[in-house]
Amino acid sequence: MRRAMRGRWVACAAAVALVATACGGGDDSGGGGGGDSGAVLSSSWGDPQNPLEPANTNEVQGGKVLSMLFRGLKQYDPKTGQAKDMLAEKIETTDSQNFTITVRDGWTFSNGEKVTAKSFVDAWNYGASLKNNQKNAYFFEYIDGYDKTHPDDGSQQSAQTLAGLKVVDDKTFTVKLKQKFSTFPDTLGYAAFSPLPQTFFDDHSAWLSKPVGNGPYTVDSYTKGSQLSLRKWDDYPGDDKAQNGGVDLKVYTDNNTAYTDLMAGNLDLVDDVPAAQLKNVQNDLGDRYINTPAGIIQTLAFPFYDKKWDKAGMEKVREGLSRAIDRDQITETIFVKTRTPATDWTSPVLGGDGGYKEGLCGDACEYDPDEAKKLIEEGGGLPGGQVKISYNADTGSHKQWVDAVCNSVNNALDNEKACVGNPVGTFADFRNQITQQKISGPFRAGWQMDYPLIQNFLQPLYYTNASSNDGKWSNADFDKLVDEANAEEDTGTAVEKFQQAEEVVRDNMAAIPLWYQNGSAGYSARLSEVTLNPFSVPVYDQIKVG
């Protein structure tokens, strides 16, 4: 026995010794790019789902890169989320429908090309044109002529460019919208509205393998599926110059491995702390763990296309369900305070002026099992005697919270079978079941804001036939209030109108708000000044190394 065991250990030790010498100097991440003095940090990343183009990127991992490579007309303040002029010198309008946009002088792309009005107009036309398959095309839908460049009924595209965009001169272009939209300028900080250099159009595939933008970083090397090395662009003209030498984004299949790497000093920054580690993160990292609100809200949506959920009295049942959910306990035990119980349908990152209103939901979001039971009975009981909460089981510990929500409901109603989870294998399948209206009960609906406006939390989700109104809820009062709010020139009044619309959502309990999601991140002792912006993406350009 002893001998055999020793053989095994000798082999192990030999193996380890070999590896140890190989990984001896594993922590040098000095910048290899063109003699910059700043040190480079490494950060966790996930393989982006779509090609890295501004109008084709609709998830955080790709968005992360775009936020380093591009600067648009507006930039959202990383702390307050306010839209501030970046490349826009001024955006003028007299009627909230026709805008004249003046681009600042002195901006170039990292390849030397000047950023002009044309850079924007070309990019937006590219994004809106159906033949380019851009998944964010609908961001341009408010611009006049979108229906010609992007006919949604599948007919032939009859125009290559948006009629509402006109280049006046190098610095100026005009935008004509199809309707009044007073907060339109504030949407222009979204990545889809980034300018594009001529090389993007001339040699598209070369651009995709090494993107060129006008942001504080440039792409040094890109190995698809494993690593993207960004380096500080020394001649960057903006005020938000990178405070470090660059960022190496490393793809991790599993965020647990990324966390382990951080613990071992192999990685500087993890911007997605795995749920399993939340209990230890405070001990492991102390004040190098950040947990800040992000513009993400989780809700339960309902299939209003199904008569069972759309008949009179059901609003009471929905409210009852809402009151049967012990949000405090779930966010505490499962999410270890990385979620905050929701009290309205927006997000705290909007701030009071932006339209977030704590407690707008009122009693309807307070946990009260007795009241819940009463409301559900008054409303005629659960359709079919049971609710099935559907969710996609492939990512983001949804199973845990859905089961917890169901437990909470079952306890409140004293019925073991009142609520069950209904896992769906993949996200694509989940989305298919939703769009084909096959789901017959409440389903998980997460919403990550595109830009920090109250409009973005309401219109796409609850307006009749809006792009993300999956439950097909429809309410004339709500629609009217949203239209009025969009036409309102004064921001304060517009926000109030939106909140009135939100009250319509509340009175009908069109969706049950569950909790606001926080962004969480952990970082190594080498770093300082690490913050997350309202989109839960690290503000890379401000991070200091060493």
Site for other proteins in 232-261 (CB under 8 A): 250-254, 257-258, 260-261
Neighbour-count burial of 151, counting CB atoms closer than 10 A to its CB (0-12 exposed, 13-18 middle, 19+ buried): middle
Q: How far apart are CA 109 and CA 235, in angstroms?
A: 10
Answer yes or no whether residue 161 interacts with other proteins by CB under 8 A.
no
Question: 133 or 160, CB closer to other proteins?
Answer: 133
Binding mask 22-41 for other proteins (x = CB under 8 A): xx--x---------------
Question: 257 or 411, CB closer to other proteins?
Answer: 257
CB of 367 to other proteins, least distance (A): 26
Question: 3 or 94, CB closer to other proteins?
Answer: 3
Q: How far apart are CA 450 and CA 499, in angstroms?
A: 19
Binding mask 388-417 for other proteins (x = CB under 8 A): ------xx----------------------
Six token digits for residue 510: 């069109």
Quickly list DSSP for 135-169: TTGGGGTTBTTHHHHS-TTSPPP--SS-TTEEE-S
Q: How far apart are CA 268 and CA 99, in angstroms?
A: 43
Find tokens 């035990």 and name the residue: 333
Instruction: Give strand ranges (E) for 373-501.
Output: 387-392, 419-424, 443-448
Q: Which amino acid is at 2?
A: R
Question: 109 or 430, CB closer to other proteins?
Answer: 430
Site for other proteins in 432-471 (CB under 8 A): 432, 434-435, 445-448, 460, 467-468, 470
The single residue among 428, 477, 493, 529 that binds other proteins, judged by CB under 8 A, is 428
Site for other proteins in 172-231 (CB under 8 A): 208, 223-227
> For 356-439, where are the alpha helices, taking DSSP H only?
369-378, 398-413, 427-435
CB of 111 to other proteins, least distance (A): 21
Answer yes or no whether residue 3 interacts with other proteins by CB under 8 A.
yes
Q: Are 339 and 347 in contact (CB under 8 A)?
A: no
Q: Which amino acid is at 228?
A: L
Number of residues that bind other proteins (CB under 8 A): 77
Beta-bridge mates of residue 445: 299
CA 447 to chain centre: 7
Answer yes or no whether residue 286 interacts with other proteins by CB under 8 A.
no
CB of 181 to other proteins, least distance (A): 19
From 309-317, 428-436, 474-482, 490-498, span contacting other proteins (CB under 8 A)? 428-436
The single residue among 9, 30, 34, 49 that binds other proteins, judged by CB under 8 A, is 49
Question: 166 or 427, CB closer to other proteins?
Answer: 427
Enumerate residues 6+ apart whose C-beta is below 8 A from 146: 128, 140, 162, 164, 178
CB of 517 to other proteins, least distance (A): 12
Six token digits for residue 168: 């006046």
Q: Are 499 and 454 in contact (CB under 8 A)?
A: yes
Report the C-alpha dihedral over residues 268, 47, 347, 427, rounded to 10 degrees.
-140
From 67-75, 146-154, 234-242, 511-519, span contacting other proteins (CB under 8 A)? 146-154
From 164-172, 265-273, 343-351, 363-371, span contacting other proteins (CB under 8 A)? 265-273
CB of 112 to other proteins, least distance (A): 26
Q: Are 116 and 124 in contact (CB under 8 A)?
A: no
CB of 266 to other proteins, least distance (A): 5
Question: 216 or 522, CB closer to other proteins?
Answer: 522
From 20-28, 74-82, 308-316, 530-538, span contacting other proteins (CB under 8 A)? 20-28
3-state secondary structure string, 178-203?
CCCCCCHHHHCCCHHHCCCCHHHHHC
User: Taking Cα atoms as reference points, which of 407, 534, 526, 535 lies closest to residue 543?
Assistant: 526
The single residue among 32, 91, 108, 138 that binds other proteins, judged by CB under 8 A, is 138
Binding mask 58-87 for other proteins (x = CB under 8 A): xx----------------------------
Q: Are 421 and 406 in contact (CB under 8 A)?
A: yes
Q: Which amino acid is at 434?
A: I
Answer yes or no whether residue 429 interacts with other proteins by CB under 8 A.
yes
The single residue among 9, 30, 105, 133 that binds other proteins, judged by CB under 8 A, is 133
CB of 357 to other proteins, least distance (A): 23
Length of the chain: 546
Q: To 5 degrees, how large is the angle CA 364–CA 362–CA 482?
A: 95
Binding mask 331-370 for other proteins (x = CB under 8 A): ----------------------------------------
**Which one-letter DSSP state was computed for residue 114?**
B
Answer yes or no whether residue 16 interacts with other proteins by CB under 8 A.
yes
Question: 22 or 476, CB closer to other proteins?
Answer: 22
The single residue among 114, 135, 166, 241 that binds other proteins, judged by CB under 8 A, is 135
Binding mask 92-131 for other proteins (x = CB under 8 A): --------------------------------------xx
Q: Which amino acid is at 448?
A: Q
Q: How far apart are CA 471 and CA 481, in angstroms?
A: 20
